[in-house]
Chains A and B, each alone.
Chain A
Amino acid sequence: MRTRIAITGLGVKTPAGLTVAEAFTTVLNGKSVVQHVDALSEADVAVPMAAVVPEFDIDSYFSRRERHGLDRTARLGLAAAIDAVADSGLAPGKLGVRCGVCVGIGGVGTSASIENVVMNRITTGKRLGPFTVPMTMPSATAARIALRMGITGPATTYATACASGTTAIGEALRAIRSGALDAIIAGGAESGLTPIVIEGFQQIGVLSRRVDDPAAASRPFDADRDGFVMGEGAAFLILERWDHALARGARIYAELAGYGATSDASHIVAPEPTGLCASRCIAAALTDARVDRVEVGHVNAHGTATVANDAAEAAALTRFFGPEVPPVTATKGITGHMIAGAGAFEAVVTALSVQQGMVPPVANFERCSDGIALDVVAGEPQLIGSAPAISNLFGFGGQNATLAISPA
């Protein structure tokens, strides 16, 4: 019989909340937390808005000594991972060689860290500190988690742009199935709310320009959507071999049942408009999960709120499911796009939605644009009962990843 994977712990540091309960409540309320950011307007950035993680008590997470080498991405990531381990009941510091770490890092956080170093170097003229390299290396968050938790199995980092968090969780599923590991801390972290990073995305034309009304800017699948809003955040899940979780009496939120991954091979930023490879990604995840399409209770869509993504994703969903696409939700209306944090947090939201049989509404959604025929959950959470769900993340470069999550 094939190895089943249990989700036994969750931890988040997101704009929607600093705990899993708080963040999921915010998501169920369906109100965007996107806000104006003074630091960006002061730096003359044309779209000075983002979804920002509230301040939290870093003293309770990191010693004064530990925090010198931690940039904001690593702080959010490590704090979320610490919460996830605590939630799972595993003993931190003694996780050992049968445990691993899989972290998604899109690169936006890395770019922001380097931007900060360079700007500081230029404005002060002072030499770099010795923590520059250990702080800006993309693998820093994974290494920090392993260090803190005493994990001596592999600590790996995945970069598939916006899909990075999902890829990390999916690859963790494969690593546990391979038999090499019993448990993995898997998720993603990203913080890149710096002027040059934001302006870079703005120059692609993918960011919403609705700067006079930030809370209404991120509107997945809505007819009046005009782009995504950058967010920051981190989420981690504890994934465990099913019998390992049962043996220690762990609470199981849901089953991570399947993973699919494909590439569009079409364009470096634009999604392939017919959704062919994205639909194959969904098919791969559900085949892997041994779940038939008619069993799927809801879709947690990538839903960035760019005109092109949402149209291509709708095409992929219709192509795969036919006219009866299950109810669709999209978390980015609330949190903006947390890049690698997005896929990880959306896996958390999907797991809780499956566990509670309740699909959150899409913030700011009023009506579908022409040509999109989806049942988008709006206004109130929708009760759907116990059923599997999928979480899609489709990254720049046409990098697609889908997770299938089933009730425990």
Chain B
Amino acid sequence: MGTSHDQILQIVMDTVSEVVGLDPGALTPQANLMGEYDLDSIELMEIGTRLERAFMVQIEPGQLFDAESASDVASYLYDKVLVA
């Protein structure tokens, strides 16, 4: 399947937007998720659960917490999706 990094990033951004309740346009890919958007750990897990469902992959919580930005999450998913 031809899922590009940008397409994945868009889905990640949309998911972050749904969970933090901000318009997608108000988000930037490089912003620190916990710092910039005041995400707590349970919200980060909610984002992870939604992305697992969207991409049908299993995301390790540790990987999610290591990722600082939406862009990092997209890169992690890009590798997972390619491998899968």
Q: Is A267 an interface residue, CB under 8 A from the partner?
A: no
Given A126-B53, A127-B52, are A65 and B46 neighbors across the interface (CB < 8 Å)?
no
Residue interface mask A60-92, B partner, CB < 8 A = 1: 000111101100000000000000000000000
Q: Is B19 an interface residue, CB under 8 A from the partner?
A: yes
- What residues on B are CB-neighbors of A65 within 8 Å? 19-21, 43
Chain A, residue nearest B61 (CB): A130
Q: Is A154 an interface residue, CB under 8 A from the partner?
A: no
Given A126-B53, A127-B49, A129-B49, are A134 and B21 neighbors across the interface (CB < 8 Å)?
no
Q: Are A131 and B42 in contact (CB under 8 A)?
A: yes
Q: Are A130 and B19 in contact (CB under 8 A)?
A: no
Chain B, residue nearest A64 (CB): B21
- What residues on A are CB-neighbors of B36 within 8 Å? none
Residue interface mask B17-47, A partner, CB < 8 A = 1: 0111100000000000000000000110110
State A131–B40 Cα separation when bound (angstroms).
Answer: 12
**Beta-carbon contacts under 8 Å, B7-21 to A:** 18-21
The number of residues on chain A lying at the interface, defined by a beta carbon within 8 Å of a beta carbon of chain B, is 13
Q: Are B21 and A129 in contact (CB under 8 A)?
A: no
Given A129-B46, A131-B42, are A68 and B52 neighbors across the interface (CB < 8 Å)?
no
The number of residues on chain B lying at the interface, defined by a beta carbon within 8 Å of a beta carbon of chain A, is 12
- What residues on A are CB-neighbors of B20 within 8 Å? 65
Chain A, residue nearest B18 (CB): A64
State A127–B21 Cα separation when bound (angstroms).
Answer: 23
- What residues on A are CB-neighbors of B45 within 8 Å? 129-130
Chain A nearest Cβ from B52, distance in angstroms = 7
State A130–B48 Cα separation when bound (angstroms).
Answer: 9
Partner of A130, one of B21, B49, B53: B49
- What residues on B are CB-neighbors of A130 within 8 Å? 42, 45-46, 49
Given A126-B53, A127-B52, are A134 and B42 neighbors across the interface (CB < 8 Å)?
yes
Interface centre among B19, B20, B21, B50, by most A CB within 10 Å? B21
State A68–B18 Cα separation when bound (angstroms).
Answer: 9
- What residues on B are CB-neighbors of A129 within 8 Å? 45-46, 49-50
Decide if the interface of chain A is mainly helix, strand, loop or mixed: loop
- What residues on A are CB-neighbors of B50 within 8 Å? 129
Chain A, residue nearest B49 (CB): A129
Q: Are A68 and B53 in contact (CB under 8 A)?
A: no
State A129–B53 Cα separation when bound (angstroms).
Answer: 10
State A63–B53 Cα separation when bound (angstroms).
Answer: 24
- What residues on A are CB-neighbors of B53 within 8 Å? 126
State A66–B38 Cα separation when bound (angstroms).
Answer: 13
State A293–B50 Cα separation when bound (angstroms).
Answer: 60
- What residues on B are CB-neighbors of A69 within 8 Å? 42
State A66–B40 Cα separation when bound (angstroms).
Answer: 12
State A128–B52 Cα separation when bound (angstroms).
Answer: 11
**Beta-carbon contacts under 8 Å, B48-67 to A:** 49-50, 52-53
Chain B nearest Cβ from A201, distance in angstroms = 32
State A305–B51 Cα separation when bound (angstroms).
Answer: 49
- What residues on A are CB-neighbors of B46 within 8 Å? 68, 129-131
- What residues on B are CB-neighbors of A131 within 8 Å? 42, 46
Chain B nearest Cβ from A120, distance in angstroms = 11
Chain A nearest Cβ from B77, distance in angstroms = 16
State A63–B23 Cα separation when bound (angstroms).
Answer: 12
Interface centre among A65, A128, A134, by most B CB within 10 Å? A65
Chain A, residue nearest B52 (CB): A127
Chain A, residue nearest B56 (CB): A126
A sample of 28 cross-chain residue pairs with beta-carbon separation below 8 angstroms, ordered by A number, consists of: A63-B21, A64-B18, A64-B21, A65-B19, A65-B20, A65-B21, A65-B43, A66-B21, A68-B19, A68-B43, A68-B46, A69-B42, A126-B52, A126-B53, A127-B49, A127-B52, A128-B49, A129-B45, A129-B46, A129-B49, A129-B50, A130-B42, A130-B45, A130-B46, A130-B49, A131-B42, A131-B46, A134-B42
Binding site for A on B (CB under 8 A): 18-21, 42-43, 45-46, 49-50, 52-53
10 nearest A-B residue pairs (beta carbon): A64-B21, A65-B21, A130-B45, A129-B49, A130-B42, A63-B21, A130-B46, A65-B20, A126-B53, A129-B46
Other than the given A64-B21, A130-B46, 11 more pairs (CB < 8 A) read A63-B21, A65-B20, A68-B43, A68-B46, A69-B42, A126-B53, A129-B45, A129-B46, A130-B45, A131-B46, A134-B42
